[in-house]
Amino acid sequence: MKTIILVRHGKSSWDYSVSDRDRPLKERGIIDAAKVAKGFLKNNIRIDAAYSSPANRAMHTAIIFLRTISFPLEKFTLSNTLYDFTGDEVYMFIKSLDNSEDTVLLFGHNEAFTHIANSLGNVYIDNVPTSGLVELKFDTNDWKTVVKGTTGRTLFPKLLKE
């Protein structure tokens, strides 16, 4: 069994004249990332690896989330491939994961994460919200064989309300 957990970055700020990659989180994004992580922690899911887009807002969300769940940062990697908005690069990234990693956290962006959730999941999601978390389970032992129709999924927007 393989599992991908997609976490969209927290609410970002447009108040600064910086490049898209450098856009920071708003205070709400920081608070929401911690809330989702605390809710996620209650599920006792063992994570093998975590990867993030290098964009400031995604990376900051990842650090907040990973520290909250006490995940060892030596198992955390930045990947330019996750700075993707279509989902094509994210899909290729998933298919290239090492098979020794069964459960992987990915931190990134929309429209890519909504596209991946709908392409690989079995329930339609109109939009993965900021700080939204989607779990995709695959009945396979090989990331290369991940395709639509082989997944179950749980969306955790309720974690923001707790």
Report which secondary-structure segment, H or E, holds 47. none
State pLDDT tens for residues 107-157. 999 999 999 999 998 888 888 999 999 989 888 999 999 976 555 555 555
Distance CA 118, CA 62 (A): 22
Give every CB contact of residue 157 below 8 A, 6+ residues apart in sequence. 129, 132
State pLDDT tens for residues 37-67. 999 998 889 999 999 999 999 999 999 999 9
Which residue segment(s) compose the domain that 107 sits in?
2-161
Give every CB contact of residue 39 below 8 A, 6+ residues apart in sequence. 156, 158, 159, 162
Q: Check which CATH number belongs to the domain holding 135 and give it.
A: 3.40.50.1240
Distance CA 3, CA 74 (A): 20
Say what the pLDDT of residue 162 is: 44
Unique residue bearing structure tokens 């970055």:
9
Coil, helix or strand at residue 3: strand
Instruction: Summarize the confidence of residues 2-29 as an average pLDDT.
Output: 94
Total domains in the chain come to 1
Q: Where are the beta strands (DSSP E) in the chain?
A: 2-8, 49-52, 76-78, 103-108, 133-138, 151-155
Structure pTM? Answer: 0.92
Token readout for 114 is: 């909504």
Upstream peptide bond of 135 is cis (omega within 30 degrees of 0):
no
Say what the pLDDT of residue 66 is: 98
How many beta carbons lie within 10 A of that of residue 143, not counting itself? 19
